């Protein structure tokens, strides 16, 4: 169910992503200007990784920004250039912030290597560099980089999930409540209009009763898609629970909001809902209450109350209708 919801939201399932095996073939950038050292590093690393080399520090920084590398090996002994500065630039640029930085230096460089670790370099290699140690440390850094990426992706996924309704992919009530408060204040401050639609599917209980709960869920998803298709990018569409959807329309006056509601109502009633694997289609209608901010309103709750009252009237007057 969680995986389904994630797919619906167009994001990778965090659990599945974490379970998949970490690929350890990395993209490595070597920043080094001594040909013999370059040759040795390349011949060791290229058996396991995709390796690029750049002797010029400025050029190297550009390549690091553009190249999506897992790990960058930085020589601290570059001709006429401070490798530590390169490390700190790599750590501060947005595009290279998560790249693993491995310093290469002489044993006498201890102090500078310590400085590098403080700046944020991840590890170091002391010359002469042992082949197996090189491979082991690079592998560790590639693994670290991949893990960081997965962690970041799943944190982002969780943050997205926290404000989304998993069944429909619309925003959820929590998000709606927060955003509505902000939109209300904004519209009041700028003396702009703000309209609200409250939509509720008619006799939805009988959809569940006649076709089953799964079919009911499919109807809800299709309903959400049709509502979304009738709204603009700046409109806020949220599932408030059950079969009730709220649409907030910034910069929209009552009559324009009524027109949007009428368009939604028509789009729902005009074509019965198809259900996967079922031969029959399901006729669906929706009732909609419309309201907008009035000068004296103290909070969004007052707009919400008028929309709810209008919805109640729409139901009482026979359903499949819009009342403002």
| Range 245-304, binding ligand GH3 (CB under 6 A) | none
Region of residue 129 (left: phi > 0; alpha: psi -120 to 50; beta: else):
beta
32 in active site: no
Exactly one of 128, 242, 272, 274 binds ligand GH3 (CB under 6 A); that residue is 242
Cβ atoms 314, 322 nearer than 8 A: yes
Exactly one of 54, 200, 218, 235 binds Mg ion (CB under 5 A); that residue is 200
Complete DSSP assignment for 244-266 = EEEEEEET--HHHHHHHHHHHHH
Of 150 and 203, nearer to ligand GH3 (C-beta) is 203
Nearest partner of 1 among 172, 166, 217, 220, judged by Cα: 166
- Other CB atoms within 10 Å distance of the CB of residue 202: 21
Residue 200 contacts ligand GH3 per CB under 6 A: yes
Of 76 and 201, nearer to ligand GH3 (C-beta) is 201
Exactly one of 203, 228, 263, 321 binds ligand GH3 (CB under 6 A); that residue is 203
Exactly one of 115, 144, 315, 321 binds ligand GH3 (CB under 6 A); that residue is 315
Nearest partner of 324 among 225, 232, 257, 268, judged by Cα: 257
User: CB under 5 to 8 A by kind: which of ligand GH3, Mg ion, none does 216 bind?
Assistant: ligand GH3
| Range 4-63, binding Mg ion (CB under 5 A) | none
Cβ atoms 228, 282 nearer than 8 A: no
CA distance 245 to 307: 12
Residue 209 contacts ligand GH3 per CB under 6 A: no
Strands (E), 92-227: 100-105, 123-126, 194-201
- Which residue in the block uniquely carries the two structure tokens 């409250």? 198
Nearest partner of 28 among 99, 83, 90, judged by Cα: 99
Residue 84 contacts ligand GH3 per CB under 6 A: no
Q: Which stretch binds ligand GH3 (CB under 6 A): 72-80, 81-89, 211-219, 269-277?
A: 211-219
Backbone phi and psi for residue 73, each to the nearest 5 degrees, phi listed first:
-95, 120
- CA 204 vs CA 12, 74, 101, 172, 191: distances in Å: 32, 64, 58, 20, 38
Exactly one of 72, 243, 268, 286 binds ligand GH3 (CB under 6 A); that residue is 243
Given 118, 243, 266, 302, which residue is catalytic? 243
Q: Which stretch binds Mg ion (CB under 5 A): 1-9, 128-136, 149-157, 243-251?
A: 243-251
Exactly one of 61, 220, 246, 247 binds ligand GH3 (CB under 6 A); that residue is 220
User: CB under 5 to 8 A by kind: which of Mg ion, ligand GH3, none does 213 bind?
Assistant: ligand GH3
Residue 57 contacts ligand GH3 per CB under 6 A: no
CA distance 158 to 5: 12
Exactly one of 166, 208, 231, 320 binds ligand GH3 (CB under 6 A); that residue is 208
Question: What is the set of active-site residues?
Answer: 243
Binding site for ligand GH3 (CB under 6 A): 167, 200-205, 208, 213, 216-217, 220, 242-243, 315, 319
Binding site for Mg ion (CB under 5 A): 200-201, 204, 242, 244
């Amino acid at each position: 169910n969680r995986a389904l919801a994630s797919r619906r939201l167009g994001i990778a399932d965090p659990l599945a992503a974490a379970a998949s095996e970490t690929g350890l073939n990395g993209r490595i950038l070597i920043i080094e200007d001594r040909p013999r050292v370059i040759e040795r590093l390349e011949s060791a690393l290229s058996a396991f990784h995709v390796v690029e080399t750049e002797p010029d520090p400025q050029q190297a920084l550009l390549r690091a920004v553009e190249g999506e590398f897992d790990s960058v090996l930085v020589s601290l002994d570059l001709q006429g250039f401070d490798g530590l500065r390169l490390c700190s630039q790599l750590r501060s640029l947005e595009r290279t912030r998560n790249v693993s930085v491995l310093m290469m230096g002489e044993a006498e460089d201890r102090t500078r290597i310590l400085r590098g670790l403080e700046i944020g370099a991840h590890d170091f290699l002391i010359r002469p560099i042992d082949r197996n140690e090189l491979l082991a440390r690079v592998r560790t850094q590639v693994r670290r980089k991949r893990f960081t990426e997965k962690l970041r992706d799943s944190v982002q996924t969780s943050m997205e999930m926290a404000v989304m309704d998993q069944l429909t992919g619309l925003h959820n009530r929590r998000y709606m409540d927060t955003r509505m408060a902000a939109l209300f204040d904004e519209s009041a401050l700028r003396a702009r209009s703000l309209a609200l639609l409250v939509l509720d599917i008619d006799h939805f209980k009988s959809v569940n009763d006649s076709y089953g709960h799964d079919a009911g869920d499919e109807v809800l998803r299709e309903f959400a898609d049709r509502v979304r298709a009738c709204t603009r990018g700046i409109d806020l569409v949220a599932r408030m629970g059950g079969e009730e959807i709220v649409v907030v329309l910034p910069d929209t006056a009552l009559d324009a909001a009524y027109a949007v509601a009428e368009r939604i109502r028509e789009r729902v009633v005009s074509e019965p809902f198809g259900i996967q694997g079922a031969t029959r289609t399901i006729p669906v209608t929706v009732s909609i209450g419309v309201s907008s901010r009035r000068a004296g309103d103290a909070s969004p709750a007052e707009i919400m109350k008028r929309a709810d009252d209008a919805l109640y009237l729409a139901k009482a007057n026979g359903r499949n209708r819009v009342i403002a």
